[in-house]
Structure 1
Amino acid sequence: MIHVIATLSTAPGRRQEVLDAFAELTPKVHAEKGCIEYGAAVDEPTGHPAQRLVGDDRFMVVEKWESPEALEAHHSAPHMVAFRDSVGDALTGVELLVLSPA
């Protein structure tokens, strides 16, 4: 199993637009072979001194996959290509952390 933490950056003021498209995408990803967990998350400010906020124009995707191969297949799945096309320039960047359980 692998863990993936993705940070998606959006054009200013367009996060909700991308989140709406992401909500339509999510059930398709859940149906993919090897998907264990996949969901978007936004800041929940707590005031904790160690907390770092993601910000208004970014959100995180928390994922678990059975294998690196399942993750690779996910990236090229037709619904992922369609998602990227649908959000166009509203999505300005993606950063991934791919981790193994310690």
Structure 2
Amino acid sequence: MVYVIAYLKAHADKGDEVAALAAPLIDATRKEEGCVSDDLYRKVAGPDTVVFVETWKSRAALDAHFAEPHLKAFQAAMADHLAEVRVEVVYPEKIEVL
């Protein structure tokens, strides 16, 4: 298994917009081959930060996800909404930061 933890910090008061734009992405991602789970959380102390927690069967499945049109569309839509992004790919033996 491969896990992804993606932290997206929106500009002030844009957290609701980011979460709303993420809903269709999550629905499409959950249907992808190799996706075990994809959930979105919001920080209680920082509602403009959303956190994706994903589980993938393999790195190959995750790589296929990175090429999906729905992910690329989400990334384009986020261009003006985000102040910071940190994506961690977690393996049993290491953590890769994208």
Q: Tell me which interval the TM-score lies in, with the shorter structure as reference length.
A: 0.7 to 0.9
1:23 to 1:13, Cα distance in 2 relative to 1, 3 A: same
What TM-score do you get using the length of structure 2 for normalisation?
A: 0.83
Runs of 5+ unmatched residues, structure 2: 94-98
**2:10 partner letter:** T
Q: Which moved more, 1:84-93 or 1:18-27?
A: 84-93
Aligned ranges for residues 43-62 of structure 1 at < 5 Å? 43-44=43-44, 53=45, 55-62=46-53
1:91 equivalenced with 2:77 (yes/no) = no
Aligned mates of 1:31, 1:56 — CA distance in 2: 27
Q: Which structure has more strand as a fraction of its residues?
A: 2
Q: Is the 8 A contact 1:3 1:101 kept in 2?
A: no
Equivalent position SS for 1:89: coil
Equivalence for 1:37: 37
The answer to whether the 8 A contact 1:10-1:93 is kept is yes
Larger Rg: 1
Q: TM-score, normalised by structure 1?
A: 0.80
What is the letter of the counterpart of residue 95 of structure 1? R
Residues 1:63 and 2:49 aligned together? no
**Which letter does structure 2 place at the counterpart of 1:25?**
L
Q: What is the CA–CA distance in structure 1 between the aligned matches of 2:9 and 2:25, rounded to whole Å?
A: 17
Mind listing any 5+ residue stretches in structure 1 that lack a counterpart? 45-52
| Higher-RCO chain (CA-CA 8 Å, sequence separation at least 6) | 1
- 3-state DSSP of counterpart to 2:79: helix
Superposition deviation, residue 86 in structure 1: 2.4
Count of residue pairs brought into register by the alignment: 93
Aligned-pair CA distance for 1:75: 1.4
Aligned-partner Cα distance in 1 for 2:86–2:79: 17
